[in-house]
Amino acid sequence: MSRRAAKADYQKTGEGDSQGMLEMLKRLELSDDDFRAIAEHARRRGIIFMSKGHREDIDFLVKLGVPALKIDSAAVVYYSLLRKAAGTGLPIILSTGGSKLGEVEKALDILAEHGDPPVALLHCTTAYPAPPDQINLRAMLTLKAAFGQPVGFSDHSEGIEIPIAAAALGACIVEKHFTLDRSLPGPDHKASLAPPELRRMVAGIRRVEQALGEPRKRPTELERRNMQLMRRSLVAERDIAAGERLQADMVVFKRPGTGLGEDFLDLVVGRVAAKPIATGDPITWDRIGGFADE
């Protein structure tokens, strides 16, 4: 990073903030030993450790044993990084904030040409925090339709509703910043979740995953049990004697749905009762015989 690089507005702490982005990042950077310690701690806790990095960091991350490489939104046009990452053979998670569709296409072409690793695309709005009217979640579906890759959502909004909505739209990856305390110094804490909020977000996404189910429209087992109680069927409006010819005004359509449906009315009218049918009893095939003139 050049010393001339200025901070983004969200990274500034106040009017007297004259520090550039390079100085800020130097103050916040982690050493290689820090990364090794974090990776080991994550493994002990059963957490998958990954990290994004610059081109010079790729070999170090591979040695750490990361199962995939994250490429941030600004690096969609960082072609030497894309070539280096693709050459590792590791799966790539590519954020696309601030990108046009053509830029994403070129990045995917480069990855395919230099190793063709599995790729997941994350829709993202590069703003911290990102206001809801700038998020455009439907663009995630556009990425899916355009490139046929797994898609997800890298979220910088406040709260948990929008990432849960992304899961409902089919995101297979949700990325969210989290912090132990949003009042800590540093530019990203304000757009991050505290642990209890992160727990609620994950629980909400898991509920959505369950609710998504399958695309086939058919009654579930619970519905099948309930629909017999809730749907209606043909029942006797009055007592019907055995041998009596059924007329339309002798039957009515009422719950429960244990008898014949209303769509059988034309097949019922004109038949004779095979046995007595009491008022309110369902009309079923075993209670009716043939037509009166048969």
Domain limits, the chain: 68-212, 226-291
pLDDT value at residue 191: 78
Reported confidence tier of residue 13, pLDDT bands at 50, 70, 90: low
CATH, domain 226-291, list 1.10.357.10, 3.30.70.2860, 3.90.1210.10, 3.20.190.10: 3.90.1210.10
Tokens of 256: 């429960």
CB count in 10 Å sphere of residue 150: 18
Q: 253 has which bridge partners?
A: 234
| pLDDT tens, position by position, 132-150 | 999 999 999 999 999 999 9
Q: Which residues of 34-68 are buried (b: 16+ CB within 10 A; e: fewer)?
A: ebeeebeeeeeeeeebbebbeeebbeebeebebeb
Tokens of 12: 């500034």
CA dihedral 114, 176, 61, 84 (to 10 degrees): 20
pLDDT value at residue 198: 96
Question: Could you tell me which CATH number the domain at 68-212 has?
Answer: 3.20.20.70
CA–CA distances in Å: residue 69 to residues 48, 147, 167? 12, 19, 22
| pLDDT tens, position by position, 110-121 | 999 999 999 999
CA dihedral 68, 206, 148, 70 (to 10 degrees): -20
Please write down the HEC assignment for all residues of 33-70.
HHHHHHHHHHHHCCCCCCCECCHHHHHHHHHHCCCCEE
Q: 235 has which bridge partners?
A: 252, 282
- Phi/psi class of residue 259: alpha, beta or left (left: φ > 0; alpha: ψ in -120 to 50)? beta
Q: What is the mean pLDDT of residues 203-214?
A: 95
What is the pTM assigned to this prediction? 0.81
- Whether residue 29 is predicted with pLDDT greater than 80 in this model: the reply is yes
Q: Collapsing DSSP states into helix, strand and coil, what is residue 178?
A: strand
